[in-house]
């Protein structure tokens, strides 16, 4: 019995393409039977007396026509018995629940999940995912779901009544587009106003995070230009790709970045002169937060109510906000430590230690002794220990001396520049992008070139 349509389910009984694929192998069986029947007729004709050939031939052709008509009728009947259902996965919904709701065979689901290499891709459904199912009554005939932008999992029942699965690669086309905007209220509002998706706006902030604090440094009237890729599937825009070049004017100062892919395939962002945008430390370990308390040796503690040195910076942010390693290093300590609550301490080169306190929880893969990269998530904002509200307490300790993070991190050393041997390749890649930024011909959604 087919479930009635709901807000998340649409039903089609018009024998769509996926349904035809589901019955194609069975149709081939019918065609083979027809071919065998025709071969028998042809053999019998060879043993018939010459005088009866005309009558026999007419009878044989009628038989062949009837066989073909039977195959056609069988195909039409099979298609008519199939239904295709498109299901949008709801919050906390599982495949088992979907099959039960649609009254589909749980045995079929178990057989599909038992296919080699299928279970992980099939079970990892998220709210908003689209599943396409073809069924005959409660019998599952086919199932499709997108695994990613470039891969689709396809499962169908074959002529032997068993399931087969394959992952189909979906080719994506790329086009280069440009956008520009001006900050009036927030970076995300400005990005949305010119057609940028939030992920691309976030990437823009990530590119310039060593030079601009997008909470403290942002000003009304600041502006940006972005040249980036758009990904197309079957000619339809499905997602934003990489940012290829960008410019940000902050408080009258212009910052520029171009993306360069070296001969080893590693990509990073540089200034037009080939200097790395990366520095040894980030300006802030928490993006889009605000400073609620600065470095102050004479601060009155809000919980203990007495003068107690505040040897770090507090970044106020909602519980669960990712906390990133300010620089590459090794986890010196991870656990509970007095008033810091849940804390992570990182050891960096040059006898520098950074401390991240009041975390709500720790990130996976950043245990004690493990190596972490700059920008890697090591924990999440919380209010464990002596804290009046959710925030990150961040400290910078050099050679055992506590220093103001806002001062020392702004002066951190830049990463290595483009090697001289790669300078010609760098200029060849980046010159057209810089020319586009220089031309001023950058407007939201304007296609520059197809790639």
Residue 80 confidence (pLDDT) above 90: no
Query: How far, rounded to the nearest angstrom, does the alpha carbon of residue 306 sit from its chain's CA centroid?
Result: 48
Domain 290-408: give its CATH architecture: Distorted Sandwich (2.70)
Q: Which fold has domain 9-169?
A: Nuclear Transport Factor 2; Chain: A, (3.10.450)
Structural contact between residues 248 and 224, judged by C-beta atoms closer than 8 angstroms: yes
More confident: 253 or 304: 253
Among candidate residues 269, 267, 268, 266, the one with its CA nearest the CA of residue 256: 269
pLDDT value of position 393 = 95
pLDDT value of position 11 = 41
More confident: 61 or 425: 425
Q: Mention the CATH class of domain 173-278+416-450.
A: alpha beta
pLDDT value of position 447 = 37
pLDDT value of position 30 = 45
pLDDT tens digits, one per residue of 215-224: 778 899 999 9
pLDDT value of position 334 = 96
pLDDT value of position 444 = 43
pLDDT value of position 125 = 84
Rg (CA), the chain: 32
- Sorted by where each begins, the domain ranges of the chain are 9-169, 173-278+416-450, 290-408
Residue 211 confidence (pLDDT) above 80: yes
Cα dihedral 367/369/375/378 (nearest 10): 20
pLDDT tens digits, one per residue of 102-132: 999 999 999 998 888 888 878 888 898 899 9
Residue 170 confidence (pLDDT) above 50: yes
Q: Please give the model's pTM, rounded to 2 decimal places.
A: 0.64
Per-residue pLDDT, averaged over 257-266, amounts to: 93
State residue 205 phi and psi, 5-degree precision: -65, -35
- Angle of CA points 273, 276, 279, to nearest 5°: 140
Structural contact between residues 96 and 60, judged by C-beta atoms closer than 8 angstroms: no
pLDDT tens digits, one per residue of 360-413: 999 998 889 999 999 999 999 999 998 889 999 999 999 999 999 888 887 788
Question: What is the helix (H) or strand (E) element at residue 270, kind and residue range?
Answer: strand 267-270
> How many Cα atoms within 13 Å fall on the side-chain side of residue 88?
7
Q: Same CATH fold, 290-408 and 173-278+416-450?
A: no
The CA distance from 398 to 405, in Å, is 10
To the nearest whole number, what is the mean pLDDT of the chain?
Answer: 81
Kindly indicate the confidence band of residue 306, based on its pLDDT and cuts at 50, 70 and 90.
Answer: low
pLDDT value of position 63 = 54
């Amino acid at each position: 019995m087919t479930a009635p349509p709901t807000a998340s389910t649409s039903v089609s009984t018009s024998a769509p393409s996926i349904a035809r694929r589901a019955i194609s192998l069975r149709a081939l069986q019918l065609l083979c039977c027809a071919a065998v029947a025709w071969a028998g007729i042809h053999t019998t004709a060879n043993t018939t007396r010459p005088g009866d050939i005309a009558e026999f031939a007419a009878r044989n052709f009628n038989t062949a026509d009837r066989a073909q008509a039977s195959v056609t009728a069988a195909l039409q009947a099979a298609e008519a018995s199939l239904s295709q259902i498109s299901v949008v996965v709801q919050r906390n919904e599982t495949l088992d629940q979907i099959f039960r709701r649609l009254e589909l065979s749980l045995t079929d689901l178990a057989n599909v999940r038992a296919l080699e290499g299928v279970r992980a891709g099939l079970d990892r459904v998220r709210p908003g995912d689209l599943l396409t199912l073809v069924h005959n009554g409660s019998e599952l005939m086919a199932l499709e779901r997108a695994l990613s932008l470039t891969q689709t999992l396809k499962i169908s029942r074959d002529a032997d009544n068993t399931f087969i699965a394959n992952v189909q690669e979906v080719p994506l086309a790329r086009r280069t587009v440009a956008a520009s905007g001006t900050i009036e209220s927030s970076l995300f509002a400005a990005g949305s106003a010119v057609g940028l998706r939030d992920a691309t706006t976030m990437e823009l902030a990530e590119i310039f995070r060593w030079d601009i604090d997008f909470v403290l440094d942002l000003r009304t009237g600041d502006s940006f230009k972005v040249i980036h890729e758009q990904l197309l599937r079957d000619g339809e825009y499905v997602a934003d790709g990489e940012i290829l070049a960008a410019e940000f004017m902050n408080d009258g100062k212009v910052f520029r970045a171009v993306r360069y892919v070296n001969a080893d395939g590693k990509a990073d962002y540089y200034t037009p002169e080939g200097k790395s945008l990366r520095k040894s430390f980030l300006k802030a370990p928490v993006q889009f937060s605000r400073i609620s308390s600065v470095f102050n040796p004479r601060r009155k503690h809000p919980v203990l109510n007495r003068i107690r040195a505040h040897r770090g910076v507090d970044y106020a942010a909602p519980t669960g906000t990712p906390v990133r390693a300010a620089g590459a290093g090794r986890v010196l300590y991870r656990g509970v430590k007095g008033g810091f609550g849940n804390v992570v301490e990182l050891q960096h080169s040059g006898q520098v230690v950074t401390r991240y306190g009041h975390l709500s929880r720790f990130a996976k893969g950043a245990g004690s002794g493990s190596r972490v990269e700059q920008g890697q998530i090591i924990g999440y904002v919380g209010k464990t220990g002596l804290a009046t509200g959710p925030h990150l307490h961040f400290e910078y300790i050099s050679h055992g001396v506590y220093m103001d993070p806002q001062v020392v991190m702004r002066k951190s050393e830049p990463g290595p520049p483009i090697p001289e041997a790669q300078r010609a390749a760098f200029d060849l890649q980046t010159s057209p992008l810089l020319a586009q930024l220089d031309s001023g011909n950058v407007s939201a959604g304007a296609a520059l070139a197809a790639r």
